Structure 1
Amino acid sequence: MDASDWDRRYAATELLWSAEPNRFVDAELANLPPGPAVDLAAGEGRNAIWLASRGWQVSAVDFSAVAIAKGRTLAEAAGVEVEWVIADLLDHVPEPDRFDLVLVAYLQLPSEQLGTVLDRAARALAPGGVLLVVGHDVENLRHGVGGPQDPAVLYSPEGITARLPGPSVDRAERVRRPVVDADRAAIDILVRAHRSAG
């Protein structure tokens, strides 16, 4: 799907996703000391706004102008400041060595394109910075619920870690996410890595 497709999806409903942060973002990042952060594929900004409310200086990047406009409105209502950037992540290059946190949540791209984004994400980490990647796992097709149905844009923990030769991987696993009104959970990947402080 391109930016215009996503614009239509975001325009069709008040909120495409929850206003609350993703459960894994909350669990993994709640105890980190705030600093500069970038949320790549931020959508309507739920994770970026949550981070900003916890003292992070957040840049939120997405190629959907409709999503970014919604994010601005939500941030204003929450009384937080977020830098909103409309950009395609296949073109956007976050500033290298700058961010204490780089978040990539549910950016479902074919392997080569994802590799480009993850390489730039890893380069954007400041010394000691944390990279968190959350996405739909390929096992979700057979054993989970929801999410994309194209295996070419689904991930595995091993596939993500193979794309991260620089940062040290702290956690790489499949995680289950409850889905309202579903008889089983969705299966996601969660990869957390960090750049050495030295």
Structure 2
Amino acid sequence: MSQDVFSEGFWDERYGSEDRIWSGNPNPQLVDRVSSLTPGTALEVGCGEGADAVWLARQGWQVTAIDVSQVGLDKAAAHAADAGVDVEWRRVDLDGWPGDAGAYDLVSAQFMYLDQPALTALFRALGDSVAPGGTLLLVGHHPIDERHGDHDFPDVRWTPEEVEEWLGSG
């Protein structure tokens, strides 16, 4: 990819720079949208240090968590071990990842850093990975959200309507 922030090296360096980059708490959007669902199989995409995957496993989900950064995955695995939960950790380059057709009751991807058209392709692969009757949870920055410093990466900002169009076309 053309932007360094999208690379494995960037994320390995970022996760290696401090003991913990993120809070260690699950994203509130995940907790809000998933708490009422019956646990089954879950795919946590871009899992970073593993907070969402660990939370899902604590709720009874059978979790597969993927990320481009092995450093992040190693931290996530340690977090899961400390929490006493089992998660399958996989290093995956999401740019061009084909997905796991119909394999998961829940697919959660929050704040994906991919440029276009890779983001559209990823969201389609994630949609295809949801089992019939399952849930696709995509969370990101809205284009008018000025609280986040992603101005250099406009492709990581999108609207629900854009995602609907991406998933419905092709």
Task: Give the TM-score, by structure 2 length.
Answer: 0.91
RMSD of Structure 2 on Structure 1 (CA): 1.3
Q: Which runs of 5+ in 1 are unaligned?
A: 167-198
- In 2: Cα distance, 1:58 partner to 1:147 partner: 30
Match of 1:145 in 2: 147
| Structure number with higher relative contact order (C-alpha < 8 Å, ≥ 6 residues apart) | 2
Report how far residue 16 of structure 1 moved: 0.9
- 8 Å Cα contact 2:109/2:139 also seen in 1: yes
Report how far residue 109 of structure 1 moved: 2.0
Match of 1:169 in 2: none
Q: Say if 2:138 is the partner of 1:157.
A: no
Deviation per CA, 1:106-142, whole angstroms, max 9, x where unpaired? Answer: 10322311111111111111110000000112112xx
Task: Give the TM-score, by structure 1 length.
Answer: 0.79
- 8 Å Cα contact 2:96/2:118 also seen in 1: no
Match of 1:9 in 2: 14
Match of 2:79 in 1: 74
Pairing of 1:48-63 with structure 2 (within 5 A):
48-63=53-68
Report how far residue 49 of structure 1 moved: 0.7
Deviation per CA, 1:72-112, whole angstroms, max 9, x where unpaired? Answer: 00000000000000010124333211100001111032231
Which of 119, 134, 139 is 1:134 aligned to?
139
Letter in 1 for 2:164: T
SS in 1 for 2:119: helix
- 8 Å Cα contact 1:101/1:129 also seen in 2: yes
* Percent identity over paired residues: 35
Match of 1:182 in 2: none
SS in 2 for 1:67: helix
Q: Say if 2:108 is the partner of 1:108.
A: no
Going by fraction, where is strand more abundant, 1 or 2? 1
- Count of matched residue positions in the alignment of Structure 1 and Structure 2: 163
- In 1: Cα distance, 2:18 partner to 2:102 partner: 37
Going by fraction, where is helix more abundant, 1 or 2? 2
Q: Which runs of 5+ in 2 are unaligned?
A: none
